[in-house]
Amino acid sequence: ADASSALRGTAARLQQEALEKPNGGKRVLDVVELYSFVQSLGIDPIKESEMVWIAEEALKVQLPPGWTEHTDDRNRPYFHHAHSDESSWTHPMDDVFHDLVQYFRKVLEDGGFWAVEDDLAEHEELIRRDLADWQELFDERGRRFFHNSQTDESRLDDPRHAAYHSLYARLKVVGKMREHLPHLACVPRPEDASVQQARQKEQKELQDRENVAVKVQSTARMMLTRRKAQKIRERRYTNCAPPPERPNLRVHLKRTGDATNFQEDLVFSLTTARRQQIAAVKLQTFARGVLARIRVKPMLKHRRELNQMVTRVQRTWRDYASRKDERERIPKAKAHLVALLRRQMQCRRDYEFFSACAAAWCQEQLERRACAVRIQSVARGKAARLAVEHRRRELGAAAVCLQRHARTFGAWLELRKSLYLESPMQAVFEPTGDARAAALVPWSW
C-alpha cells in the first residue's frame, strides 16, 4: 500500500509538472508505466519504496548535450544524437541512475557516504585523464574544433560537456541523497585497519627511540661521572710512584721561582719510551697521509677532468635543448596568439551582434508600447464618445418628458381658466380639516 501510494503520488506530481511546463522535456508516465520504469532501474517498489524518488529524478534529468527525444510512427519515444547520428530506445542517462541505485544501497550497507565519495573522486579523475588528450584548435576559416592527439579523432562539439554532464548529474542526485538520509550524511569516515596498524607502529618506534635516547644519555652521564671520579682520585696521589693504571707516566721534581726563592713540586710526565712511541705514531701517520695523497691525487685529477667534460656536455646539451624548446614554443605561441585574436574577434562580433539584437528588441518594444498607447487612446476615445452619446440620448428623453409634462400642465391651466370663465362656481374636493371627521369623511367639497 505504501509503495502504490508513493507511485501514485510520484505520477501525479510528474503529471502536474508536465501540465505546468508542457515543453520541459520530461517523460510523463502513468502508475503502471512508472512501476515498470522503477523495476527497470533495479528497484523493488514494494521492498524499496524509499528509493522511488531516484526514478523520479531519472524522469526529470536533462538529456546530455547533442541528444534529443523523438517519437516514431507508433508514438514510441526514442533518443537521437545529432553529431554521431546515433539512435537508442533507452535513455542515455539510464546507466548513471543504475549506478545511483547501487550508491543508495551501498550507503545503507556501509552506514555512510565515504565509499560513494571515493567512487565519485575516481570517476572525476578518470574524466580528467580522458580529457587531457583533447585540444581546442581553429581551422583556416576560424571555426573551432577539438582534436585528440592520441586517437587522432576530431569533433566539432566540446567533449567536456558530455563528459561532465553525467558527473554533475551524479553529484546532484548524491546531494539529494544526503537530504533523504541526513542521519548517515553526518557519519565520519572510519579509519582503515592498515592505517591504525601504521599509527601504532609509528608510536611504538617513537617510544623505542625515546627509550634508546634515555639509555644513551644515562650511559654518557655515567661515563662523565667515572671520568670525574678518576680525576679526583689522581689528584689525591701523594706518593712518588706513578699510579698503577698509568705505566707511561713518571714522577719528577720541578723547580719553580728564582734561584734564591724557588719551590719544588712533584709532577707527572711522560716516559721517554712513551714519547718515542707517540713520535713514531705521528711519523707513521704523516707517511700514510703522503702515500694516500700520492695514490689519490691522480684519481682526483681524473675526477676533475671528468667533471669538466660532463659540465661542458651538459652545458652544450642545455643550450641545444633550450634552442629546440624555443623553436617549438614560437609556433605554439604564434598559434596561441592567433587563436586568442580570433577568439577576441569572435567575441567582438558576438558582442556587436547581441548589441544590435538588443537595440532592435528595445526599438521593437518601444514601437509596441507606442502602438499599444495609440490603440488604448483610440479605444478610450471611442468609449468616451459612446458614453457622451448615450448620456445625450438619456438627457434628450428626459427633456422631451419634461416638455410633455409642461405642456400638459399648461393645457390643464388653460382648461381651468376656461372652466372658471364658463362657470365661476365649481365644486372642488379637498382634504377634511377636522381630524375626527377625516376618519369618517376624508374628502369634502
Q: Where are the domains of the chain?
A: 2-192
Amino acid occupying residue 273: A
What pLDDT sits at residue 137?
82
Q: Which of 8-17, 27-36, 124-133 is most confident?
A: 124-133
pLDDT the model gives residue 236 = 61
Q: Who wins on pLDDT, 74 or 6?
A: 74
Residue 65: predicted pLDDT: 80
pLDDT band at 19 (very low <50, low <70, confident <90, very high): very low
Q: What pLDDT is recorded for position 28?
A: 57
Range from 139-143, 258-262, 263-267 carrying the lowest mean pLDDT: 258-262
Name which of 155, 21, 22, 41 is nearest 101 in CA terms.
41
Q: Which residue has the cell 548529474?
A: 169
Query: What is the Cα–Cα distance from 83 to 338, expressed in whole angstroms?
Result: 27
The answer to whether residue 300 scores a pLDDT higher than 80 is yes
Q: Which residue, among 71, 117, 114, 77, has the nearest Cα to 94 in the 3D structure?
A: 77
Q: Give the separation between CA 262 and CA 434, rounded to whole angstroms.
A: 181
Q: What is the rounded distance in angstroms from the CA atom of residue 339 to the CA atom of residue 227?
A: 81
Cell of 72: 516514431
The mean of the pLDDT values for the chain is 80
Among 95-104, 374-383, 390-399, 435-444, which stretch is predicted with the lowest mean pLDDT? 435-444
Report pLDDT for 29.
62
Residues 273-299 have a mean pLDDT of 89
Tell me which residue has cell 583556416. Answer: 140
Neighbours of 146 (CB within 10 A): 17
Confidence of residue 90 (pLDDT cuts 50, 70, 90): confident
Percent of all residues in the chain with a pLDDT value above 70, rounded to a whole number: 85
pLDDT at 416 over 90: no
Each residue's pLDDT tens digit, 213-243: 888 888 888 888 888 888 877 776 444 444 5
Q: Is residue 396 within 8 Å of 389, Cβ to Cβ?
A: no
- Out of 80-89, 272-281, 378-387, 408-417, pick the least confident: 80-89
Alpha-carbon span 445 to 425, nearest angstrom: 12
Does the pLDDT of residue 100 top 70, yes or no?
A: yes
The 8 Å CB, 24+ separation contacts for 206-214 are: none
- The kind and range of the H/E element at 77 are strand 77-81
**pLDDT per residue as tens digits for the range 246-263:** 567 776 667 777 766 777
pLDDT in tens, 343-392: 999 999 989 998 999 999 999 999 999 999 999 999 999 999 999 999 88
Is 60 exceeded by the pLDDT of residue 421?
yes
53 CB neighbour count, 10 Å cutoff: 17
pTM: 0.38
CA distances from 81 to 12, 66, 98, 219, 260 (A): 30, 5, 21, 81, 124
What's residue 363's pLDDT?
Answer: 92
Residues linked to residue 262 through DSSP beta bridges, in sequence order:
257
pLDDT of 17: 46
